[in-house]
Structure 1
């Protein structure tokens, strides 16, 4: 993954996470406020109902306003301007809370005008079930009101727990969101670590391949001197050794060049120099070399191309490289007696070029990954064909840079066919250039 792409992914991910966290926070706060408002309204309705019934039983009238005053989030004062029976207050309070589905404990106290203090009544359950003895012994301070004479106070000690209990789903979803954010953070750390390791690996490969160029050049010069020396040519054993050195040099140099080309592609430093090129000027050398290699293994190479000019707008070097890679793969993976077929077919203004082999074929699950970097079809512990898995990746990158399409068709036991679709130029352009 390129640095700019990774940066965009992280920034967009952070923005998305911040947006989701913001929405979740707003949702939690809104839900809390709604539940809190609902609690206050129900508590006031219950207390008003109690006040109304107490006033009716005492044949008195309720004050015209400010009957129920909320002194804090969980403490209410009820002004009824008549005497209050503590036992009757408990019963009515329990009934009203149950009626309004506000099933939570409460503490109450009644103002004693002789002492100017709140006389603590007790800690009660909203339901009519027997009280927990431990809870019944709890005491709490309920503040008086200096402007009232006959009133009582009700406090709900478990209000906060009641609200959180009503928000269980919201809390659960928030925990999931927190886990998601933590997982995203962990993923970012892993991505950055993998990016750093990939950069280190890439730098090492680049440095290693560049360091190989000097000794390879020396080997090429030395092998050339040996091959031209008359004494070496006269000795069959030395001549074979010199040819072997030169062949291994070419093989190693080809792999190093592939690595360097891939590095330039990934860095964006490689350039495609398109020019008008006739495919017939490139194919003879490639086909001649491939035919010799196929015949050395008792194989054949069949060619069926249109006879007239095939002008393309392409980089000749890269075009030669991708055709060489496809022919090289066809020969290497065709078994002991390769049968290679190169066929070109004109369809409209495009040449459909196919290169087929007689190899074991490619399973469908591997075909989509053939053009990935370093990917090679698993063969267990057997590695009959050497390579780094860079050839087809390079082919795919060059085709993409030119705007060409490439695909593979294969069935197990029936070989593989690579198909290229190459747009043609008008023949007039080739003649004028």
Structure 2
């Protein structure tokens, strides 16, 4: 008798809703759903959940027969529709999608980092090779000069002339000092990079250091038919500083003034004073420095293109070394320059 009762008498919307909610929850589905029962023979819907979209329910593929073993009652089909099905699917994929995106981002990041390290390593290799080539070239000139001077001293006719012996001995001494300057600059630059340089402050006279420095370049100035002028505008040029490192720093600046010059070099060193500071300006009539390079010339290994100056290969460490030494003394260094007109480096050092 019970099996002949209509479906509306056997089930209720509330009971169906409760059963379906529990079943979906057990499967991890917590999305909103709508349902209804289709009486297949009558082609009509019954037991519709409130708010169900009938048109969408009819198109839904989520359906199943109720009581399929009953042959005497009409065929009843339960249909379920999920209004937020797309959102449900997307939300279920969010975790996997996020993981995939994160994994892809990680791969891309590792790849970019690898490329970056590769480029950096290549630059370091290029700089190293360039530095070796340039230093070899810089060493070659004084070594060749010393070799020629030694050969000249071995000539019997010249060795008998005291004036010639003195001149060639001076050449050897100056070129040897030039080599020593380059070696000291290289070694001290490496120490500066590792913060191993210690400044030994003693009372020194900048004017004495300047005169001592330019005397090392007498032969180079004579060969270039150039001139070096020292002008002292300050009655007091005494500072507390490291004589060795300041001498090397100033020597590098004078060396650059002579080296990067297409004409007879004219170098001027002006010593003046500011409140509680000694100021040294080193000016030349050289090829100049492009304005866009002003912020880069003090970087280690940076080299400005030398234009048409032949056989000039800076090693890219002289200005870097000079700046670091001056800053270790609590001073500053700045540059002013015009292409083909010359360059002026201004050094300010505290006197207290």
TM-score (norm. length: structure 1): 0.56
Corresponding residue number in structure 2 for 1:323? 250
Q: What is aligned with 2:4?
A: none
1:20-419 correspondence to structure 2 within 5 Å: 62-63=13-14, 66=18, 68-69=20-21, 70=24, 71-74=26-29, 84-86=38-40, 87-89=43-45, 96=52, 106-112=61-67, 114-115=69-70, 152=78, 154=80, 163-164=89-90, 175=101, 178-189=103-114, 194=120, 233-234=159-160, 249-290=176-217, 293-294=220-221, 296-379=223-306, 383-419=310-346
1:357 Cα shift?
0.9
Q: In the alignment, is the contact (CA less than 8 A) between 1:407 and 1:420 conserved in 2?
A: yes
Change over 3 Å in CA distance of 1:88–1:255 after alignment to 2: farther
Q: Compared with structure 1, are the counterparts of its residues 331 and 366 closer, same or farther at alpha carbon in structure 2 (3 Å cutoff)?
A: same
How many equivalent pairs are there? 321
Tell me by how many angstroms 1:416 deviates: 0.9
Counterpart CA distance in 1 for 2:210 and 2:295 is 28
Bigger relative contact order (CA 8 A; separation at least 6): 2
SS of match in other structure, 1:353? strand
Deviation for aligned residue 1:408: 0.9
**DSSP-derived class of the 2:14 partner:** coil
1:79–1:396 Cα change, 3 Å? closer
The answer on whether the counterparts of 1:74 and 1:155 sit within 8 Å (CA) in structure 2 is: no
Q: Encode CA deviations 1:6-40: one digit per residue, 9 max, x unaligned.
A: xxxxxxxxxxxxxxxxxxxxxxxxxxxxxxxxxxx
Partners of 1:296 and 1:63 in 2: CA distance: 110
CA distance in structure 1 between the partners assigned to 2:275 and 2:299 by the alignment: 31
State the secondary structure of the residue aligned to 1:410: strand
1:147-205 C-alpha deviation (Å, 9 max, x unpaired)? xxxxx36377x95896339989x959973x65543343235445666569959x97xx9
Contact 1:349 1:423 in 2 (8 A): yes
The answer on whether the counterparts of 2:38 and 2:79 sit within 8 Å (CA) in structure 1 is: no
CA distance in 2, matches of 1:360, 1:226: 34
Unaligned runs of 5+ in 1: 1-53, 122-151, 426-433
Deviation at 1:248, TM superposition (A): 5.3
Query: What is the distance in 2 between the residues matched to 1:281 and 1:242?
Result: 23
- Structure 2 unaligned segments of length 5 or more: list them: 1-6
Task: Name the stretch that deviates more: 260-269 or 61-70.
Answer: 61-70
Residues 257 and 225 of structure 1, relative CA distance in 2, 3 Å threshold: farther
Does the C-alpha gap of structure 1 residues 173 and 294 become closer, same or farther in structure 2, counting only changes over 3 Å?
farther
Structure 1: how far apart are the matches of 2:32 and 2:282? 92
Q: Partners of 1:341 and 1:327 in 2: how far apart?
A: 9
Aligned-residue RMSD, C-alpha:
5.2
> Deviations along 1:390-433, whole A, 9 cap, x unmatched?
211111221232232111111223211111121112xxxxxxxx
Question: TM-score scaled by structure 2?
Answer: 0.67
Distance 1:78 1:288, change over 3 A: closer
Give the deviation of 1:278 after TM superposition: 2.4
Shift of 1:252: 4.0
Cα distance change on mapping 1:286 and 1:251 into 2, 3 Å: closer
